[in-house]
Chain A
Amino acid sequence: MDTVQWIVTVAGIGMIVAIAVYFLFKSEDVAMQARTIRGVQELSIIVKGGYSPSVVTVQRGTPVRLIFDRRETSSCSEEIVIPEYGIRRGLPPNEKTSIEFTPASAGTFEFACGMNMLHGSIIVE
């Protein structure tokens, strides 16, 4: 192998390690607490390449309104699915879509995009 090949090989291995570390070993997001306004726990979630925040905390028994603010056109995020509450909803690009439900039982429930690539979770306390 010549020098260029050595450089390419080492750089390649470096990139592989970088990709693995960056994408596969990420820490859980910090949970964001919903704010209660006139009896409804409300929280905005920005949908752009993922969900921010991706972990939301709500209280059991009080209605929840999650406002999904989709700021992209990527087809990955065009649907939001919350299996626990039987919700599958289209999210129009560059618009805010409200999803309402009342959590009956405590636990951690997943939400995801239609193809299950983007993930988030709802912690019901």
Chain B
Amino acid sequence: MSFAVEPVCSSCTPLDMGHTPEDFRETGQRDLVRRLWIIAPFAVLTMVLGMAMFFPVIFAYIPEHSVNYVQLILTLPVFWFAGWGFIVDAWSAAQHRLATMDTLVAVGTSTAFIYSATATLFPGLFHDAGQHPHVYFDTTVTILALITLGKVLEGRAKRQTSDAMRKLLGLQSTTARVLRVGVEVDIPINNVVLGDTIIVRPGERIPTDARIVRGTAIVDESMITGESIPVAKRDGDTLIGGTVNRTGSATAVAIRVGKDTTLQQIVRMVEQAQVSKAPIQKLADKISSWFVPAVMIIAIATFVVWFDVSPVETRLSTAIINLVSVLIIACPCALGLATPTAIMVGTGKGTERGLLIRNAEALEIAHTVTMVVLDKTGTITVGNPSVTDSIVSDAVDGAALYSAIHSIESKSEHPLAEAIAMYTQANGASLVDVSNILVHPGAGIEASVNGDRILIGSKALLNTNSIAVEAPFQIRIDQWQKSAQTVLFVAFNNKHVAAFALADTLRATSKHAIQLLKDMGLRVALLTGDTQATADAVAAAVGIEEVYAHVLPHNKVDIISRLQESGNRVAMVGDGINDAPALAKADVGIAVGSGTDVAMEAADITLMNSDLQSVPHALQLSRATMRNIKQNLFFAFIYNLLGIPLAAGVLYSSYGLSLNPSFAAAAMALSSISVLINALRLRSFTFHQA
């Protein structure tokens, strides 16, 4: 097995045991905390000395004329441990003609520091120029301490935004118990190959996707599907790697390993979604490209204006302090964090519920949906139809016909065909040779058996072949259709000879889910290839008034287009395979998954469970995430829009309001943390249940 040149996305697979992003961040975080502890005592002493005039007792220990020197000495370690890094980073960025957050902090703190150091070491220069040599060491250390503290808190909050991803990665077992030459051995997960026999014991996590060959298991799949009730599995059932076997023991064969497993596909999909960009972010992106230089320009203008309008003896210090305030209060980070963090937390929250969101754009569009169109089979119903009744004409040999039907239907994967194949088999049919198979999508199938031409399919298939329904069958057929059953017709050498009634059961939560959608103010419609009578019966049972029946697969797309043209934003909910074109055409395609089919190309949102309530839940999550993003963007914009002029002192002349740079530093640190905390609120978002 060679991974070297494969199109790998190594960060998303725990098979790559290299650096996880958190490893070094933990180290960085610890380093920041260490720096904070080192600078704390120096910073506190400097601040106290900065307020020495309020504590005259200090002058008993330190002569008044040397207070500034002591402050300068105390500031040096703070500047070295907390400030120098910003200067280095700002310098590297400047070489790329880039100005970042580091630039603002570096220029702001070093201006305050150099000014204060000059005033301390060469007060004569200031006196000669008629300036009072005021120092701002306390401001310098406060800014640095607060920004460092802010970074520590920001790091903690940021870590939580990727909690969902970490949980997913944690589901991957590192070893598997397999049968090798008749002996049970524990081997590293990377060594498991397709076809390996896996031993699943009670209480253990299932190492990889596998099919049970012997035994039973009650499996908790909540971590993948969001479904809280454990599922009973037996021979032939598929186990999803990462889920937990609660009770029972089973032997299973590995059917997907490595990066092909359901879990790894989910991880990749979530990772892709989390890096994708929401269209709403564009404005913030545009602004952030010129934000920092603009702030620097405003800061210089502020300096010049204050220098020109202030009294001679204080003009330099006033100009300096306002310049520093403007540089420090501006926070491009809040703008940059606003959208991506909410997207990360929102998509992560969805994953926990079994809602896989393809990308941020899908999430954004989903909140504008006005109409939900639901497929019937497999979406509102279980999608597992079974034959409830049948009629066969006396004119044919029933047993031979059943064998022919069984043999033809066994070749098809259509759920109705499977149901008929099972029914005929249970009624004594055997396999015979079939030739000339021709599938009519959405209508049925035709084939030859012993030279006889057999058609199995809908009424439409009979009609296109100009075959009339046998009159004696008509009453039974009408009854079946009235009771929402699907009817399949069989023609033998262009004569109608048999009919089957098939019924599908409604999913327990379908009615509930449709009520939830209506409560959200959405228009709900049913779209199916089934007959009008069957569709109407199902629609009535779940409370849908708008029904599009008898729609062939390729016409589903037309219906969706028509609905879109008449001004609806359409979400189409279907099974992801037969409905793929309609899902792709809809504004938002929602695929109802079976739990293992993750990579549904056509779907914007894939439901890992079969609970239709996941549809309103996905739309609710999209609305909540978009609301959160808008709050974040609003806050980040307003913060900078109000903070920068305030720091520049625009309110000074009329209200005497100006901003101490220390407050500016606190506000700046708080602004990005507020955005993060607001995004993290999405983690506790509760899905509305009717």
Measured CB to CB, the residues of A under 8 A from B are: 1-2, 4-5, 8-9, 12-13, 15-16, 19-20, 22-24, 26, 38-40, 48-52, 54, 63, 72-76, 78-79, 81-83, 85-90, 92-93, 95, 97-102, 114-119
Contacts and interface: CB of A to CB of B under 8 A. Distances in A.
Given A88-B11, A101-B9, A115 B19 contact: no
Between A73, A81, A116, the greatest number of chain B beta carbons within 10 A of the residue's beta carbon is seen for A116
Interface in B67-90: 85, 88-90
A53 B667 CA distance: 36
A52 B7 CA distance: 24
Contact of B28 (A12, A78, A118): A78
Contact of A102 (B7, B93, B304, B312): B7
26 contacts: A1-B308, A8-B303, A8-B307, A15-B300, A16-B297, A16-B300, A23-B290, A23-B296, A48-B92, A49-B89, A49-B96, A49-B98, A50-B93, A52-B96, A54-B96, A73-B28, A73-B85, A75-B28, A78-B25, A81-B275, A88-B21, A92-B19, A100-B6, A100-B9, A116-B340, A117-B101
Given A1-B308, A40-B5, 19 more contacts: A12-B300, A16-B301, A26-B97, A40-B4, A49-B96, A50-B98, A72-B89, A73-B85, A74-B85, A78-B24, A83-B276, A87-B9, A88-B275, A90-B24, A114-B340, A116-B340, A117-B100, A117-B101, A118-B96
B275 A86 contact: yes
A47 B542 CA distance: 58
Nearest to B293: A23
Nearest to A49: B92
Contacts of A78: 24-25, 28
B82 to A, nearest CB: 13
Contacts of A92: 19, 23-24
Contacts of B332: 115, 117
A115 B287 CA distance: 13
A92 B24 CA distance: 6
Given A73-B85, A74-B102, A115-B333, A22 B97 contact: yes
B569 interface: no
A107 B648 CA distance: 44
Classify the secondary structure of B's interface with A. helix
A33 to B, nearest CB: 19
Nearest to B302: A12
A61 B375 CA distance: 38
B298 to A, nearest CB: 9
B290 A86 contact: no
A102 B7 CA distance: 5
- Give the 9 A-B residue pairs with the shortest CB-CB distance, closest first: A49-B92, A90-B21, A50-B96, A86-B272, A74-B89, A49-B93, A12-B304, A115-B336, A92-B24
A10 to B, nearest CB: 9
Nearest to B308: A5
B23 to A, nearest CB: 7
Interface of B: 4-11, 19-25, 28, 85, 88-102, 129, 151, 268, 271-272, 274-277, 285, 288-290, 292-293, 296-297, 300-301, 303-304, 307-308, 312, 332-333, 336-337, 340
Contacts of A1: 308
Contacts of B304: 8-9, 12-13
B160 to A, nearest CB: 15
Contact of B296 (A19, A76, A87, A118): A19
Contacts of B288: 115-117
A92 B11 CA distance: 13
A72 B99 contact: no
A104 to B, nearest CB: 9
A89 B21 contact: yes
Given A8-B304, A116-B285, A118-B98, A63 B9 contact: no
Contacts of B4: 40
Contact of B8 (A39, A100, A119): A100
A26 B19 CA distance: 35
A118 to B, nearest CB: 7
Contacts of B101: 76, 117
Contacts of B285: 116
Between B94, B275, B285, B337, the greatest number of chain A beta carbons within 10 A of the residue's beta carbon is seen for B275
Nearest to B21: A90
A74 B85 CA distance: 7
A3 to B, nearest CB: 12
Contact of B300 (A19, A24, A49, A85): A19
A38 B304 CA distance: 59
Contact of B98 (A23, A39, A81, A102): A23
A90 B275 contact: no
Contacts of A79: 21
Nearest to B25: A90
A19 B9 contact: no
A102 B586 CA distance: 30
A107 to B, nearest CB: 15
Contacts of B89: 49, 72-74, 76
A20 B85 contact: no
A39 B301 contact: no
Contact of A8 (B93, B297, B308): B308
B290 A49 contact: no
A102 B10 CA distance: 13
A88 to B, nearest CB: 4
Contacts of A97: 19
Given A5-B307, A9-B308, A117-B288, A63 B99 contact: no
Nearest to B88: A72
Contacts of B96: 49-52, 54, 118
Contacts of A20: 293, 297
Contacts of B296: 19, 23
Contact of B337 (A15, A74, A115): A115
Contact of A63 (B6, B24, B95, B303): B6
Given A15-B300, A23-B293, A117-B288, A89 B93 contact: no
B92 A50 contact: yes
B24 A74 contact: no
A12 B275 contact: no
A54 B93 CA distance: 13
A98 B5 CA distance: 12
Contacts of B277: 83
Contacts of A9: 304, 307-308
Contacts of B271: 86-88
Contact of B102 (A2, A76, A85, A119): A76
Given A19-B300, A63-B5, A87 B11 contact: yes
Nearest to B272: A86
Contacts of A22: 97
Contact of B297 (A19, A40, A81, A88): A19
Nearest to A76: B100
Contacts of B20: 90
A85 B97 CA distance: 27
A23 B99 contact: yes
